Amino acid sequence: MKNMFNKVGAIVLILSLGLGCNAVKNANNTQKGAVIGTTGGAVIGGVIGNNVGKGNTVLGAIIGGVVGGVAGGYIGNRMDRQAERIQEEIPGAEVTRVGEGINVTFNEGAGVYFDTNKSNIKGTSVETLNKLAGVFKEYPKTVILVEGHTDSAGTDEYNLGLSKLRAESVTNYLISQGLDSSRFTTKWYGEAQPVADNATSEGKSKNRRVEIGIVASEELKQEAIQKTKG
């Protein structure tokens, strides 16, 4: 999947917050941000859609925001800085810059965890979200999508409700740290979008997750266009 992202250069910041997530390598893509998007978000979206298929709603929600060109490089530069700050604040996380966005994977020492059948934020999750909130405050010209997911244990209806509670818990916690609520969109999908095999304990732990997508706000896009004119 990571190789496909690098080839396509989609705008994406996905913070996969869950148990047992594999860390990925840090990379700088300011230059790539200036190249991607010249063919348009719809084309990029089609290419990615053919590769990942259905069920990647974080990625699908942010593809259309690609700017490209010199303005894309301007946005990419700021994403480079934000990626560096996340890595500084959360050493357990390894960060990959992708096009105009960022991909962050948290390992077991720096994730957002939920006890079985629970949705409250506690323990390591509190520390991680506090640090994320701090970085988000430093880069206010972004909008944030929070999505909740579960493993396959329990009924579809129950899991949908549980994923809703977990996603809302993360959103509400971040807002409680002083972030503007208008920056957030919260969604939930229960067990419908697994990233691993629910037949194993390890797979289930990866599927119990909250994903966060972050893209440039309209204000940042307009700033990038104005700053790079000529």
Reading the chain (230 residues) residue by residue, the pLDDT tens digits are 433 333 333 334 445 554 333 333 344 444 444 433 333 333 333 333 333 334 566 666 656 667 888 999 898 888 889 889 988 998 877 676 776 777 665 555 567 777 778 888 888 889 889 999 999 999 999 888 888 888 999 999 999 999 999 989 989 999 999 999 999 989 899 999 887 899 998 888 778 887 777 788 899 999 999 999 86
Domains of the chain in sequence order: 2-222 (3.30.1330.60)
Mapping DSSP onto H, E and C, the string for the chain reads CHHHHHHHCCCCCEEEEECCCCCCCCCCCHHHHCCCCCCCHHHHHHHHHHHHCCCCHHHHHHHCCCCCHHHHHHHHHHHHHHHHHHHHHCCCEEEEEECCEEEEEECCCCCCCCCCCCCCCCCHHHHHHHHHHHHHHHCCCEEEEEEEECCCCCCHHHHHHHHHHHHHHHHHHHHHCCCCHHHEEEEECCCCCCCCCCCCHHHHHHHCEEEEEEEECHHHHHHHHHHCCC
What is the pTM assigned to this prediction? 0.74
